[in-house]
């Protein structure tokens, strides 16, 4: 079962706003609790008035080899993206409230 805290997304938009990169991470709550790269996608657009289009050349999907056009080793994974993914997950976990469930609540 997956919860909202199981997935973390980090987005980096280029200064010219004509391209962006998205990293989606999956938090495996079984065992030690690892944050794995789930998907990586690069997007582009002609002008800022256009919507972003998914690149058909630079895409990685952990669960779908057919969808992937690059191997995990070729995915750009900067340190600041890793730090932001950890921070987002830690903030979500820190905001979890613990209590007893009762009927009618």
pLDDT tens across 37-96, in order?
A: 889 999 999 999 999 999 878 888 888 877 888 888 888 899 999 999 989 888 877 765
pLDDT at 99: 67
Q: At residue 4, does pLDDT exceed 50?
A: no
pLDDT at 97: 62
As given in the structure block, the two tokens for residue 95 are 């905001």
pLDDT at 31: 64
Q: How far apart are CA 28 and CA 55, in angstroms?
A: 27
Other C-beta atoms lying within 10 Å of the C-beta of residue 69: 14
């Amino acid at each position: 079962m997956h919860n909202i805290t199981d997935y973390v997304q980090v987005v980096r938009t280029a200064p010219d706003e004509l391209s962006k990169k998205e990293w989606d991470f999956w938090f495996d709550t079984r065992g030690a609790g690892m944050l794995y790269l789930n998907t990586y996608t690069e997007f582009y657009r002609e002008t800022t008035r256009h919507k972003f289009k998914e690149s058909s050349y630079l895409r990685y999907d952990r669960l779908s080899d057919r969808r992937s056009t690059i191997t995990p080793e070729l995915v750009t994974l900067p340190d600041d993206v890793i730090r932001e993914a950890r921070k987002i997950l830690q903030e979500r976990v820190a905001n979890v409230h613990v209590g007893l469930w009762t009927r009618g609540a």
